[in-house]
A and B are shown apart, each in its own frame.
Chain A
Amino acid sequence: MENVLLVTQKIDLGAWIVLLIFVPFFILFTLRAKSGARFPLRPIAAYKRLCELVSQAAESGHVIHVGMGSGGIGTPATPEALMGLTVFGYIARQAAQYNQATLGTTGDPTILTAAQGILQRARAEAGFPEQYSRRELQFYGPHPFAYAVGAFDSLRARPYLANVLLGHFGAEGLWLAEATSSKEMSRLGGVAPPTAAALMQSSLDETVIGEEVFAAGAYLDKPSHLGSLASQDLMRIIIILTILVGSILTSLGYLG
């Protein structure tokens, strides 16, 4: 029990091994996914609900709010921030095709600039570039709670069909989810880190947690992401086998 989470200086070898196994499979599976290969996915309730909500929004003209959280791009929180942007992009493209409004809020300025590009492109692709409005994307200062409070104020202005919170959130995710709980709208989303996920899980109607957050693209509208899911699954099996075999060998006295 002594070596729990020990951080050593000689981990470069392990990192190289993981990369050398992961990257080839990743490339192989991504190429296959791009050439049309499909495989069945385990259903995830939150993403299913999100797709339903997006079609409801298209029919009714109601707006879905996407909270993209406060993890900056350029920091190690980039992947989570990117997933918030992916969900926003999905909803923005749908809204743009039906020439409807959308609302994205973020607590980090770098996400704001990236989301502006996504929204502009979505509007242009749908043929209404002049419908792009900077006010559909709002930023409320880089402090998490200022973001939560500001986004809450935006949600007050009109009824929203759903409140989607996906990205990098801390305790402010609970703030935003609970403060809006008296309003009649679906609330769903998710975060990766366990500390925040525990709070979101107890507050939102549907949640994704941990690794599921990073699968948003594959479950929504990016089949090219299926390749990375397949490589993640393969890697997972390899890791489980490594841990099992390693533990058995250690117990028998062959290792460490």
Chain B
Amino acid sequence: MIVCPVCQHRNPEGAKTCEACGASLEGFFYRACPVCGALNPAEAVFCRRCLAELIPSEAPEEPLPPTEAEAPSEETASTAPPTEKEETPETTEEEITEEPSVEEEILPKPEHPPVPVPNPLEGLEELLPLEAAVALPHRAEPRQVHFPDETERRDAELFQQIATEPAPLREQARVLGTPRTRALSPIGRLILYILVLLIAIVPYFSGGFTASWITPREDVTTLLQSLNSLPQGATVLLAFDYDPAYAGEMNPLALDITRQLAQRSVHIVALSTQPAGIGLAEQVLRQLSDQVPAYRYGQSYAILGYLPGQEAGLRTLNSSLGDAFKEDYLQRRSLGELPVTRGLATLADFEQIILFADDETTVRRWIEQIQSRNPEIPLHALVTARIAPMLVPYRQSGQLSTLLPGTPGAIELEAAMGRRSFLTWTSDAYTALFFSLLFIAVISNVLYLSSTRRVR
């Protein structure tokens, strides 16, 4: 019998809508026992109170009904090695160190079957996987079979009565699932979200209020100097190791860097150790060749493709470029055919390595596999702001020549390159974000403190 979640009417098995109130019974939660009337979860096959079958059909037959005497041997399952499977309970019981003496007293001998009491656990011990549990070497300590005394039995009956009383589900779900910390109300969340949206469109109205004060940090100037020191015709390796998820943060940075390199006629060879990174490399470099038409594929830049194999892949790249890539990605020509890759044999032929990454393990991998073997090639890590704090130690130790967090880095780089673009205007939005979070922290605590005081 299916219990209607709205009016608690008990409908016959298989009903689609409630006979009494017409509510849909799809996704119902309670099934009433046809024998004793107790409420059971919708998935249950047997009644929890009387163990009657809830759905009168070919219900699964229990294949292995173990005897009651075997129950204590479960206890030893976690300690006994698998070969002791066939041994008798007496031998294994000796190994029990703690509770067994109590257990032996409680458990009845096979010739004295337990008094049949309507306890909620009754019958379940037969459902326990005894044989399988004994066969397993390190299973958890299984549920102990416990026969209730008189008071416990009365408590259990009371509990059963309360538990099976038809309470509206919505209330019950709230009691069960209440999170410890109170969630924001839907209205509160909406206000918060709209506030974030407003902050994000600030630069469209503020007109780059803070843009004129931007002062590039040390690493931005170091990076620019390093790029500007490259001779014409030198080749730089660019790794686009970020996911499209972070394209919004990393693409502007990558575009700035490639533009700077293109203006100085430095050649770019790009690759990615993430499959989707290649698509981004293509997107950024296409955009670049739209902006700098003289900078052409094959002549000035090339995309090698996706480098699989993580550590092993980088190791191959380190020893030989030709082993890592047989042909380029876009034109499928061998590396010797393309002017830009013709003279490149190993990593030592690159002047610098610039890594765009959204994941600290990727950066660590480059440091371990590439930088530590080629300490003379500068490795610049331009990463998402999210992971930048994790990489500061590598910058400290000099393994990274520069470390730039994407968001403030790109803005400061634009400013340092003397460009007044829209990107520099977004600095206003970050300022607004800071003040809003400050405001949110204050509001959050005012509301929190006032609510705790009310509770007291």
Contacts and interface: CB of A to CB of B under 8 A. Distances in A.
Contacts of B360: 193, 195
A127 B41 contact: no
Interface in B367-386: 367-368, 372, 386
A205 B181 CA distance: 6
B179 A61 contact: no
A5 B310 CA distance: 21
A7 B186 contact: no
Interface in B31-66: 40-46, 60, 62-64
A2 B63 CA distance: 68
A34 B79 contact: yes
A109 to B, nearest CB: 15
A101 B387 CA distance: 38
Interface string A81-111: 0000000001000000111110000000000
B128 interface: yes
A182 B183 contact: yes
A223 B140 CA distance: 7
Contacts of A56: 176
Interface stretch (A20-28, A183-191, A238-246): A183-191
A224 B179 contact: no
B401 to A, nearest CB: 15
Interface in B166-202: 172-174, 176-181, 183-184, 186, 189
Interface string A175-218: 00000011011110000011100000000011000000000000
- Chain B interface secondary structure, helix, strand, loop or mixed? loop
Interface of A is mostly: loop
Contacts, number: 134
B180 A205 contact: yes
Contacts of A181: 183-184
B179 A125 contact: no
A20 B128 CA distance: 41
Contact of B129 (A4, A76, A125, A186): A125
Interface string B82-96: 000000000000010
Contact of B179 (A4, A100, A171, A186): A186
Interface stretch (B231-239, B291-299, B388-396): B388-396
B179 A195 contact: no
* Size range of the chain A interface in the assembly: 35 or more
Nearest to A101: B43
Given A7-B368, A34-B79, A224-B78, A130 B40 contact: no
29 contacts: A2-B396, A3-B397, A4-B393, A5-B396, A5-B397, A5-B399, A36-B78, A36-B95, A59-B163, A61-B43, A75-B310, A76-B361, A97-B129, A99-B127, A100-B41, A101-B43, A124-B129, A160-B177, A161-B177, A162-B177, A181-B183, A182-B183, A182-B186, A184-B174, A184-B177, A186-B177, A193-B360, A195-B390, A205-B179
Given A62-B41, A97-B124, A220-B140, 20 more contacts: A4-B396, A5-B394, A6-B397, A7-B368, A7-B372, A9-B372, A36-B79, A60-B41, A61-B29, A61-B41, A61-B44, A90-B140, A97-B128, A99-B127, A127-B60, A184-B178, A222-B138, A223-B138, A223-B140, A223-B141
- CB-based closest 5 A-B pairs: A61-B41, A221-B140, A125-B129, A224-B138, A5-B393
Interface of B: 27, 29, 40-46, 60, 62-64, 78-79, 95, 97-98, 124, 127-129, 132-133, 138, 140-141, 143, 163, 172-174, 176-181, 183-184, 186, 189, 245, 310, 359-361, 367-368, 372, 386-387, 390, 393-394, 396-399
